[in-house]
Amino acid sequence: MHGVFDIVGPVMIGPSSSHTAGAVRLGLMARKVLGEQPVQAEIHLHGSFARTYRGHGTDKAIVAGIMGMQPDDERIREALPLAKEQGLQLQFKQVQIDGAHPNTAIIYLTGASGHMARIRGASVGGGNILISNIDGYEVELTGQYPALVTIHRDQPGIVTRVTEILAWNALNVAFMRVSRQSRGAMAMMILELDEELPRTVVEECQRVPQVQKAFSIPAIG
């Protein structure tokens, strides 16, 4: 069953839903994962993205998302000079990634505080995206739902503790995925929710002793 969005496509600045709207969302998701104003971006492009990114405006689209623009923002066409005006340093590289979707990008961001984030994702059609890796952890994240992300010690009871906090705050989990580096090491848990998370809930999760870091990713437009 297809919805209107799947048939008609997203409201966007062209020319392509995959190379423009999806690319904007990849950049926007990277910014949300970083969680602050980016000052430096290194963008690796694979496959079709690498071959046609200038002609299809994929470079402008990803940078526009990194700066916080939505797919229908008329400023997308001017994203590169706007980035220069804002002091956002950019570097693009064409890469080959075995087995990757043809519209794949790896985005390395550095924030004003020095914090860094690495996000790998693909534009999978119709303006939709799939994030497959965040900071070395394998994930499956579409950006269609608000999400809670925790980085925690892989120990019994942590998942239960975090989901109890959500339940106490009447927040319903739509999807959940846990990725760990190895048994007993650090793990990343992503809980996609039906509602946006209040800051107080994220702070409560952060106070769980075994949680190294907790942050939220709002749903992207």
CATH number, position 181: 3.30.70.260
**Closest C-alpha among 73, 66, 50, 58 to residue 16:** 58
Last residue of a domain, one of 135, 158, 190: 135
- What does the pLDDT read at residue 17? 57
Specify which residues 133 forms β-bridges with: 120, 138
In the numeric block, the tokens 């004003």 are attached to: 112
Task: Give residue-wise pLDDT tens across range 158-199.
Answer: 999 999 999 999 999 999 999 987 888 899 999 999 999 999
Say yes or no: 103 and 192 in one domain: no
**What's the pTM value of the predicted model, to 2 decimals?**
0.85
- The predicted structure's pLDDT at residue 212: 92
Which residues, given as ranges, of the chain have pLDDT below 50?
1-15
For 8-40, give one letter per residue: b (16+ CB within 10 A) or e: eebebbeebbbbbbbbbbbbbbbbbbbbeebee
Q: Is residue 194 included in any domain, yes or no?
A: yes
Number of structural domains the chain divides into:
2
Q: Return the sign of the alpha-carbon dihedral for residues 153, 154, 156, 159.
A: positive
Please tell me whether residues 125 and 173 are part of one structural domain.
no
Give me the pLDDT at residue 19, please: 64
Same domain assignment for residues 56 and 160? no
Domain that holds residue 186: 147-217
